[in-house]
Amino acid sequence: MKQGLDRAFGQAMDPLLRLTRVLAVLALIAAAAAVLLLLLFMPAQAHAEDTHALPPDAAVTEALQRSPAWRVALQRHQAERSRGAAVVANPNDWTPSASWAQRQARADVGAASPASGDVRTREWSLGLSRGLRLPAKAEAASAAGQGQQARADAQLAMAWHELARTWLEDAVGVLQASRQEQLLSAQLRLWEQQHQAATRRHALGDAARQELVLLDAGRAQAQSQWLQAQQRWQAAQGVWRSRYPGLPLPLSLPQASTPSDTVPSPQDVPVTVSEALEATWLDAHPQWRLARLEADAAEAQARLAEAERQPDPTVGVQLGRERSGAERILGVNVSWPLGSAARSLQSQAQWADAQAARAQEGEVRRELQRSLAQWRAEWRSGQQVWQAAEQAQAQTRRAALAVRKGYELGEGSLSEVLLLQRQWLDQQQTAATAELEALRARWRWQLETGARWAWVPEAAR
């Protein structure tokens, strides 16, 4: 009788156990679906609100001023200005001279003992001379020296501009490494959660072994990609801290965003600019200012070389005594060298350099005009590419979600789910890259037009 009761109890509990197992499987499927929904929709929402924040402009200026490259530029600037001052100064040196001699004269040439009639006298002389720079040459030298100093200031401004360009590329590189590490880390978590859910389903007998194999392969690939991205991110942080000690890392977190770094819509990008505004940008651009001042300095140097075809005269005074003081001398001497053919050839070479520098100035301005148009076009096209990538990402996300729901209802296969999931993850990376390229184009435009990170003369003090 006891065995009959046990059998009856087992038969009564068997449906309950099967129902419990079914409910557990449904709970696991619901949890996996919830995780997928969370990972599919939350990154998109955060991404839509996410903006990148660069360090404050004042902090960037201080960091660039502390960089070794800027200290080198300051020393070179000081050296170049000193050379310009040397050109203005008279290069002719004061030349003192002194002489002493003892003279012996024979009183009677026909005497039997010539030595008995010798007359000995002492004489000495002192002199001081210096080359004189003519007024026309002094004026040409003053213009050449001032032009050289102005060129040194332009070279310093260009050095700052190049430092800012390098810093901006480094900042974009850090942002790219950070974003890739974040995306691949989120992707790895998605693969791990899916693998855990499939493992539990397989233990309950509701998932095939092949599903685990596919998920193992996907998780291994995601882990490898994340480890590589993590290494690149750590390397980027090390380079940043070594080049810009004390400067915060660029952030890609919503709470660190600033209104100045909010990416505008394509209609905010200037399609065309007026000629007056473009001329203002060009005149203030360090590269063109350097080209213009180099041409001015070369022409001033050529005019100085033209004046140097006639050497400077040398004027001196002389004081002396002869015949042991019996004669006193006070005089003035003037010498004026005649110019050689070498001076004429040097003048011709300087004028050729000046003409080349002036032609280079025009080419630099035309190249800058083309570059400004190109940077503006890259900014606008970057916004459009970014928007297109975001739309493609949204479409692949919806497709992945639809296929996932169908798979949960018994339609389709896991391979189709994983294929669309990979496509969505790839499109997510594409959208992130497009966003950074759009930001790079915008920041480059701000740098080149002097809107941000411009050189200030106080930085040279």
Structure letter (DSSP) for residue 107: S
Per-domain boundaries in the chain: 2-101+117-460
- Tokens describing residue 220: 């291994």
| pLDDT of res. 35 | 37
Contacts of 344 (CB under 8 A, 6+ apart): 309
| pLDDT of res. 336 | 87
In the sheet that holds 327-335, the strands lie side by side as 94-106, 118-131, 314-322, 327-335
In the predicted model, residues of the chain with pLDDT beneath 50 are: 1-6, 8-13, 15-51, 111-113, 253-267, 461
Q: Pick from 179, 198, 159: which is nearest to 29 by CA? A: 198
For 247-294, the pLDDT digits (tens) are: 988 876 433 333 333 444 444 555 556 677 778 888 889 999 999 999
| pLDDT of res. 159 | 95
d(CA 340, CA 84): 26
For 48-95, the pLDDT digits (tens) are: 333 457 888 899 999 999 999 999 999 999 999 999 999 999 888 888
Tell me which fold the domain 2-101+117-460 belongs to: Outer membrane efflux proteins (OEP) (1.20.1600)
Contact 117, 107 (CB under 8 A): yes
| pLDDT of res. 259 | 33
| pLDDT of res. 141 | 93
d(CA 320, CA 101): 11
How does strand 327-335 pair with strand 118-131?
Answer: unpaired
Number of H helices, E strands in the chain: 9, 4
For 413-434, the pLDDT digits (tens) are: 677 777 777 788 888 888 888 8
pTM above 0.75, yes or no: no
